[in-house]
C-alpha cells in the first residue's frame, strides 16, 4: 500500500509475518471518514477481512462511557452521583462514597474479579474495598458493571442498547454482544487463564463488545468532527479532563506510563514515547487499540487477537502521526 501511512501498514504486516500477531485489521480515519484500511494474516486458516468482527475487550469501556455521558447531558446522571443512589445494596460496609466519576476513572477501590467469573451483579457488590474512593488509581473492569447498572437505572435502557443508541446513528451498527457475528478466535486465551465461553456469556460491560474496524473508525471520525453526533462538544471536553491527577498508580498503569484517566478514556498526555500527546483512546486485552488525535486530525484502530502480544503500539501510533 502506497500512502502517507505506508510505514504503519508495513509495521502491521511485519508483526503478522513474524507471528507476533495471528491476524490484524488496521484502519485510519480523519474527520471526513476512512482514509486507509487493510487486513493481514489468518486465524486457524481463516484469512482476516476488513469487515470481520473481533473482540474489543476493554475498548468497550469508553463506548459505555459515552452512553453514560449522554445520560449526563439529559440530566439523568451526574459525575458525582453516588453509586448507592442507583444500586442501594452496593458497598454496605464502606465508609466512603463511591461516585460515578470514580467508576469511570479506575479509582473506586472495588475488589477486582477475573473477567470470566459469572454473576457480575453479585461481584460488584462484594463486601470490602481495596482503597478509599479517589485515593488510588488501579485498573478496574468490574467498575463498569456499576456504570452499566447506573445507566440502566437512569435511562431504562440496558447498557448495550444505550451504546447502540449513539452507535447506530453514526453507522457503527456492528458493535454487538452477539456471538453470531463470528469474531476471530483469541489465540492463547485459555493458556493465559481466560475461559472465552464463560467470558462471552457474561456480556461484560467493561470488556464484552464485539466490533469491526469500520465501527470504531466511524466513532473516531465523529469525535474528530466534534459536532454533537455522539456527545456534545462540551461533553467530550468534560470526558477528556483528567480525573486521576497525582494520586498513586498501581499496575499496570504505573506513574511512569505518563497517562491519566478521564471519563472512561485513557489520556496519554504525558506518555514518554509518543510523538503526539494530544491523544485519547483505549486498548484491549487481546492487543486491540483505538486512539484519537484531535489536533493532528486522525484516528486509528488495530484489531487483533492474541493473549500474548509482544508489540509496542506506541511505534504504530508514531508511524501514523508521522504519516501526516
Asked if residue 268 lies in contact with residue 261, where contact means CB atoms within 8 angstroms, the answer is: no
Helix, strand or coil, per DSSP, at residue 94 = coil
Grid coordinates in use for 148? 452499566
Within a domain: residue 319? no
Rounded distance, CA 136 to CA 70, Å? 27
Rounded distance, CA 125 to CA 139, Å? 18
Alpha helices (H) in the chain, listed in sequence order = 6-17, 60-73, 83-86, 100-104, 120-124, 143-155, 159-167, 196-202, 213-225, 233-239, 313-322
Alpha-carbon radius of gyration of the chain: 19
Within a domain: residue 242? yes
Q: What is the CATH number of the domain that holds 82?
A: 3.40.710.10
Asked if residue 273 lies in contact with residue 314, where contact means CB atoms within 8 angstroms, the answer is: yes
Rounded distance, CA 93 to CA 323, Å? 53
Question: 58-74 burial string, b = 16+ CB within 10 Å, else e?
Answer: bbbbbbbbbbbbbbbee
Q: What's the pLDDT score for residue 1?
A: 43
Within a domain: residue 36? no
Rounded distance, CA 47 to CA 53, Å? 12
Grid coordinates in use for 219? 466513532
Q: What's the pLDDT score for residue 252?
A: 86
Rounded distance, CA 39 to CA 78, Å? 41
Q: What's the pLDDT score for residue 255?
A: 81
Q: What's the pLDDT score for residue 254?
A: 78
Rounded distance, CA 14 to CA 316, Å? 12
Residue 103's nearest CA partner among 145, 162, 60, 71 is: 145
Rounded distance, CA 94 to CA 99, Å? 13
Within a domain: residue 60? yes
What total of structural domains would you count in the chain?
1
Chain centroid to CA 322 = 24
Residue 251: domain span: 52-289
Within a domain: residue 73? yes
Grid coordinates in use for 38? 487493510
Phi-psi region of 106 (alpha: psi -120 to 50; beta: other; left: phi over 0): left
Chain centroid to CA 2 = 30
Residue 314's nearest CA partner among 273, 254, 267 is: 273
Grid coordinates in use for 254? 504505573
Rounded distance, CA 156 to CA 143, Å? 20
Q: Which residues pair with 39 in a beta bridge?
A: 25
Chain centroid to CA 260 = 14
Q: What is the pTM of this model?
A: 0.97
pLDDT (tens place) for every residue of the chain, 324 residues total: 458 999 999 999 999 999 999 999 999 999 999 999 999 999 999 999 999 999 999 999 999 999 999 999 999 999 999 999 999 999 989 999 999 999 999 999 999 999 999 999 999 999 999 999 999 999 999 999 999 999 999 999 999 999 999 999 999 999 999 999 999 999 999 999 999 999 999 999 999 999 999 999 999 999 999 999 999 999 999 999 999 999 999 988 878 888 999 999 999 999 999 999 999 999 999 999 999 999 999 999 999 999 988 999 999 999 999 987
Q: Which residues pair with 41 in a beta bridge?
A: 23
Within a domain: residue 20? no
Q: Which residues pair with 292 in a beta bridge?
A: 280, 299
Within a domain: residue 64? yes
Within a domain: residue 278? yes
Rounded distance, CA 82 to CA 102, Å? 9
Residue 114's nearest CA partner among 142, 143, 146 is: 142
Rounded distance, CA 276 to CA 266, Å? 14
Amino acid at each position: 500500500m502506497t500512502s502517507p501511512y505506508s510505514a504503519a501498514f508495513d509495521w502491521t504486516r511485519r508483526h503478522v509475518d513474524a507471528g507476533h500477531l495471528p491476524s490484524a485489521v488496521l484502519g485510519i480515519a480523519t474527520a471526513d471518514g476512512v482514509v486507509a484500511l487493510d487486513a493481514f494474516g489468518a486465524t486457524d486458516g481463516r484469512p482476516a477481512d476488513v469487515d470481520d468482527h473481533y473482540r474489543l475487550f476493554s475498548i468497550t469501556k469508553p463506548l459505555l462511557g459515552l452512553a453514560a455521558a449522554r445520560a449526563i447531558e439529559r440530566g439523568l446522571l451526574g459525575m458525582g452521583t453516588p453509586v448507592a443512589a442507583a444500586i442501594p445494596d452496593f458497598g454496605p460496609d464502606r465508609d466512603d462514597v463511591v461516585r460515578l466519576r470514580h467508576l469511570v476513572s479506575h479509582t473506586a477501590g472495588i475488589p477486582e474479579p477475573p473477567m470470566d467469573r459469572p454473576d457480575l451483579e453479585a461481584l460488584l457488590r462484594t463486601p470490602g474495598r481495596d482503597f478509599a474512593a479517589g485515593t488510588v488509581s488501579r485498573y478496574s473492569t468490574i467498575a463498569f458493571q456499576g456504570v452499566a447498572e447506573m445507566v440502566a437505572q437512569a435511562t431504562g435502557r440496558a447498557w448495550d442498547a444505550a451504546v447502540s443508541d449513539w452507535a447506530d446513528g453514526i453507522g457503527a451498527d456492528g458493535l454487538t454482544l452477539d456471538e453470531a457475528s463470528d469474531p476471530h478466535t483469541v489465540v492463547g486465551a485459555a493458556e493465559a487463564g481466560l475461559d472465552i465461553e464463560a467470558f462471552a456469556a457474561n456480556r461484560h460491560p467493561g470488556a464484552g463488545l464485539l466490533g469491526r474496524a469500520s465501527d470504531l473508525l466511524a466513532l473516531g471520525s465523529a469525535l474528530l468532527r466534534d459536532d454533537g453526533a455522539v456527545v456534545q462538544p462540551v461533553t467530550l471536553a468534560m470526558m477528556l479532563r483528567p480525573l486521576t491527577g497525582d494520586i498513586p498508580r498501581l499496575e499496570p498503569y504505573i506513574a511512569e506510563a505518563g497517562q491519566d484517566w478521564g471519563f472512561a478514556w485513557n489520556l496519554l498526555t504525558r506518555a514518554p514515547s509518543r510523538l503526539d500527546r494530544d491523544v485519547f483512546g483505549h486498548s484491549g486485552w487481546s492487543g486491540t487499540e483505538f486512539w484519537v488525535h484531535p489536533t493532528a486530525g486522525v484516528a486509528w484502530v488495530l484489531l487483533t487477537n492474541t493473549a500474548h502480544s509482544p508489540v509496542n503500539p506506541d511505534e504504530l501510533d508514531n508511524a501514523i502521526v508521522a504519516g501526516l
